Structure 1
Amino acid sequence: MTSGTKGSGPDHVTLRQILDHDEEGVLRLLLAPTGQDVTVVGVVIGDEEPARTHAGRIVLAAGLPPDPATAGTAVREAARRGASALVLREQEGAPLPAQALAAAEECGIALLVRASWADWGDALALLRSATAFAAAGRDDLMADATTGGLAALAAATARLCRGSITVEDPQFRVLAHSATGPEADGLRRSTILGGRVPEWRVAELRRSGLVQTLRTSGDVIHRAADGDTPERLVVAVRGGGEMLGSLWAAADGRRLSPDAAQVLRRAAALAVPHLLRHRMRESGTLRREAHALRGLLHGSGDRRAHLWSLGLTPDVPCAVVVGVRASPEEPGSEDRTLEALAVQATALRPDARVLREVDTIAVLLPAHDGGQPRHDAGQPGDALALARELDALAARTPGAPPVWTGAGGTVGSGLDASLSYEEALLVVRALRDREGRGRDAHPVRSAGPDQVGATIEALRMLDAVRPVWESGTGPVHELIRTDLAAGGELVRSLAAYLETPGDVASAARRLTLHPNTLRYRLRRVRERFGVDLDDPDTRLVVTLAVRLSGMP
Structure 2
Amino acid sequence: MTPGTTGGGPEHVTLRQILAHDDDGVLRLLLAPAGQDVAVRGVIIGDEGPARPHDGRIVLAAGLAPALPGAPAAVGEAAAPAAVREAARRGAAAVVLRESGEAPVPVRALAAAEECGIALLARAEWADWGDAIALLRSATAFASAGRGDLMADSAADGGLTALATATARQCGGSITVEDTQFRVLAHSATGPDADGVRRSTILGGRVPDGRVAELRRSGLLRALWTSEDVIHRPADGDSPERLVVAVRSDGEMLGSLWAAADGQRLSSDAVQVLRRAGALAVPHLLRHRLRESGTVRREAHALRGLLHGNGDRRAHLWSLGLPPDGPCAVVAAVQDTPADRRGSERTLEALAVQATVFRSTARVLREQDQVAVLLPVNDGGGPRDALALARELDTLAAGIPDAAPVRIGAGRTVASGLDASLSYGEALMVVRALRDREARRRDKHPVRHAGPGDVGPTIDALHLLDAVRPVWESGTGPVHELIRTDLAAGGDLVRSLAAYLETGGDVPLAARRLVLHPNTLRYRLRRARERFGIDLDDPDTRLVLALAVRLTAAL
Pairs within 5 Å for 1:65-464: 65=65, 66=67, 67-147=76-156, 148-367=158-377, 374-375=378-379, 377=381, 379-464=382-467
Deviates more, 1:210-219 or 1:449-458: 210-219
Q: Is the Cα contact below 8 Å between 1:492 and 1:551 reproduced in 2?
A: no
2-structure distance, mates of 1:428, 1:132: 49
| Aligned 8 A contact 2:11 2:41 in 1 | yes
Q: Secondary structure of 2:356's partner?
A: helix
Q: CA deviation at 1:7?
A: 4.2
Q: TM-score of the superposition, structure 2-length normalised?
A: 0.96
Contact 2:96 2:122 in 1 (8 A): yes
Q: How many residues are matched?
A: 544
Task: After superposition, give the CA deviation of every residue in 1:301-337 in whole Å (9 maximum; x if it has no partner).
Answer: 1111111100112111110000000111333111000
The answer for unaligned runs of 5 or more in structure 2 is: 68-75
Residue number in structure 1 paired with 2:2:
3
Is the contact between residue 19 and residue 27 of structure 2 (CA under 8 Å) also seen in structure 1?
A: yes
Query: Which residue pairs with 1:43 in the alignment?
Result: 43
Maintained 8 Å contact 2:176/2:188 = yes
**CA displacement at 1:530 relative to structure 2:** 1.2
Distance verdict in 2 for CA 1:4–1:409, change over 3 Å: closer
1:53-64 matches, within 5 Å, as: 53-64=53-64
Aligned to 1:546: 549
- State percent identity of aligned pairs: 76
Alpha-carbon distance in structure 2 between the residues aligned to 1:163 and 1:3: 37
Letter in 2 for 1:189: R
Q: Is the 8 A contact 2:164 2:186 kept in 1?
A: yes
Distance 1:551 1:151 in 2: 60
Gaps of 5+ in 1: 368-373
Deviation at 1:117, TM superposition (A): 0.1
Distance 1:329 1:37 in 2: 54
C-alpha distance in 2 between matches for 1:217 and 1:4: 22
Instruction: Give the whole-Å Cα distance in 1 for the aligned partners of 2:150 and 2:131.
Output: 32
- Structure 1 segments of 4+ aligned residues over 6 angstroms from their partners: none
Q: Distance in 2 between matches of 1:223 and 1:120?
A: 41
- The alignment's C-alpha RMSD in Å is 1.2
**How many angstroms does 1:389 deviate by?**
0.5
Structure 1 residue 5 displacement after superposition: 4.6
Query: Is the Cα contact below 8 Å between 2:436 and 2:554 reproduced in 1?
Result: no
From the superposition, tell whether residues 337 and 92 of structure 1 become closer, same or farther in structure 2 (CA, over 3 Å). same
Paired with 2:362 and 2:471, the residues of 1 have a C-alpha distance of 41
Which residue does 1:371 correspond to in 2?
A: none
SS in 1 for 2:44: strand
Rounded Cα–Cα distance in structure 2 between residues aligned with 1:107 and 1:551: 57
Structure 1 residue 487: Cα displacement: 1.1
Q: Which residue of 2 aligns with 1:14?
A: 14
CA distance in 1, matches of 2:100, 2:431: 32
C-alpha contact 2:351 2:393 (8 A) present in aligned 1:
yes
Q: In 2, are the aligned partners of 1:137 and 1:146 still within 8 Å (CA)?
A: no
> CA shift at 1:41, angstroms?
0.5
Paired residues of 1:136 and 1:146 also in contact (CA < 8 A):
no
The CA deviation at 1:376 is 5.7
Q: Over residues 93-146 of structure 1, what are the superposed CA-to-partner deviations in whole Å (9 max), with x where a residue is unaligned?
A: 333211001101111100000000000000000000000000003343422022
| Superposed CA offset, 1:387-415 (max 9, x none) | 01000000011111110000000111111
Q: How many angstroms does 1:4 deviate by?
A: 4.8
Distance 1:175 1:139 in 2: 24
Aligned to 2:486: 483
Q: In the TM superposition, what is the alpha-carbon distance from 1:526 to its structure 2 partner?
A: 1.1
* Aligned partner of residue 355 in structure 1, secondary structure: strand
Give the residue type in structure 2 aligned to 1:525.
A
Contact kept, 8 Å, 1:25 with 1:115, in 2: the verdict is yes
Q: Is the 8 Å Cα contact of residues 46 and 60 (structure 1) preserved in structure 2?
A: yes
Q: Determine the C-alpha separation between the residues in 2 that align with 1:326 and 1:415.
A: 29
**2:73 match:** none
Aligned-partner SS, 2:2:
strand
Residue 6 of structure 1: CA displacement? 4.7
Query: 1:550: Cα distance to partner?
Result: 1.6
Opposite residue 213 of structure 1, the aligned amino acid is A
2-structure distance, mates of 1:340, 1:526: 52
Give matches, 1:515-534, under 5 Å. Answer: 515-534=518-537
Q: Distance in 2 between matches of 1:361 and 1:507?
A: 37
Question: How far has the Cα of 1:485 moved from its partner?
Answer: 1.3
Q: Which amino acid aligns with 2:187?
A: H
